Amino acid sequence: MTADPGWDPARLAALAGDEAEAAHRLALLSAMGLGVAFDPAGGLKLLRRAADLGHDLARDSLAVVETLGPLEAWLTPRPAGLASERPHVLIAEGFVAPVVCDWLRTRAGSRLEPAKVHDPRTGAGLLNPVRTNDAAVFDLPDADMVQVLLRERIGRLVGLPVAGMEPVQVLRYRVGQAFDWHVVYLDPASPGHRHNLARPGQR
C-alpha cells in the first residue's frame, strides 16, 4: 500500500473535525507501523474508537476481525505444509476463514474493472489481451483493518516484511479468463519499470 499526504500522521490533525475518520486512519497506520510505532493492539483500540464514533467501515471490519478471536489468532498462522519437494511447493490449509473471503469479495464489489499490465515504456496501467481477468486495487486510502491484518498474516507465514508488499488486490477470473504467460520481475532496461525499482524495489 502506498501512502498519500493525507495519511501522514503529522497531518491527521487536519481531520480534527472528523474524529471517526482520523481514528480509523490512525488505527490502520498503527497496525502497519507506517509513520508510527508498530502496534496492532493499539490499532484495534483505535478501530473500536472509530466504530463507536459511527465510522461504518471501522464498525464492519471490526466485526470481521473479531470472528477470528483474539489478535494473536491473526498474527500466528499455522505453518504451511509441504505439498511437493520438486518443485518445492507449500500449502497453507485454512489460511483464512470463509468470512474473510466473503469480506474481500464484498469490498471488491463495484470496484472490479478489467485488470491491467504495466506498460514497460511508461509504467502506467495498460489494457492488454494477455490479461483478461478483473481486479480491484486497494491503495492505502481505501484500506481496512481486515486487509491490514491479512497482509501481516501473509508476511508472518512466508517470513517476508510487509513493507515490501504491493497494494491489496482482489482478482476475479470468470470461466475462460486468464493471465497468460508473463514474467513478474521488473526489467531495469525498461523505462517504465525504473520508478518502481527505485522505490518499492524488485519484485
Name the burial class of residue 159, with classes exposed (0-12), middle (13-18) and buried (19+) by CB atoms within 10 angstroms of its CB: exposed
Angle at 42 between CA 151 and CA 76, to 5 degrees: 40
Is residue 94 within 8 Å of 84, Cβ to Cβ? no
Q: How confident is the model at residue 53 (pLDDT cuts 50, 70, 90)?
A: very high
pLDDT at 91 over 90: yes
The more confidently predicted of residues 54 and 5 is: 54
Give percent above pLDDT 70 in the chain: 92
The pLDDT score that the predictor gives to residue 126 is 86
Name the burial class of residue 51, with classes exposed (0-12), middle (13-18) and buried (19+) by CB atoms within 10 angstroms of its CB: buried
The mean pLDDT value for 70-88 works out to 93
Q: How confident is the model at residue 201 (pLDDT cuts 50, 70, 90)?
A: confident
Distance CA 102, CA 172 (A): 13
The pLDDT score that the predictor gives to residue 179 is 92
Q: What's the pTM value of the predicted model, to 2 decimals?
A: 0.84
Query: Which residues face 81 on adjacent strands?
Result: 91
Q: How confident is the model at residue 195 (pLDDT cuts 50, 70, 90)?
A: confident
Distance CA 112, CA 131 (A): 14
Nearest Cα residue to 115 out of 125, 102, 123: 125
Q: Which amino acid is at 194?
A: R
pLDDT tens digits, 97-145:
999 999 999 999 999 999 998 888 887 888 999 999 999 999 989 999 9
- 3-state SS string over the chain? CCCCHHHCHHHHHHHCCCHHHHHHHHHHHHHHCCCCCCCHHHHHHHHHHHHHCCCHHHHHHHHHHHHCCCHHHHHCCCCCEEEECCCCEEECCCCCCHHHHHHHHHHHHHHCEECCEECCCCCCEECCCCECCEEEEECHHHCCHHHHHHHHHHHHHHCCCHHHCCCEEEEECCCCCCECCCCCCCCCCCHHHHHHHHCCCCC
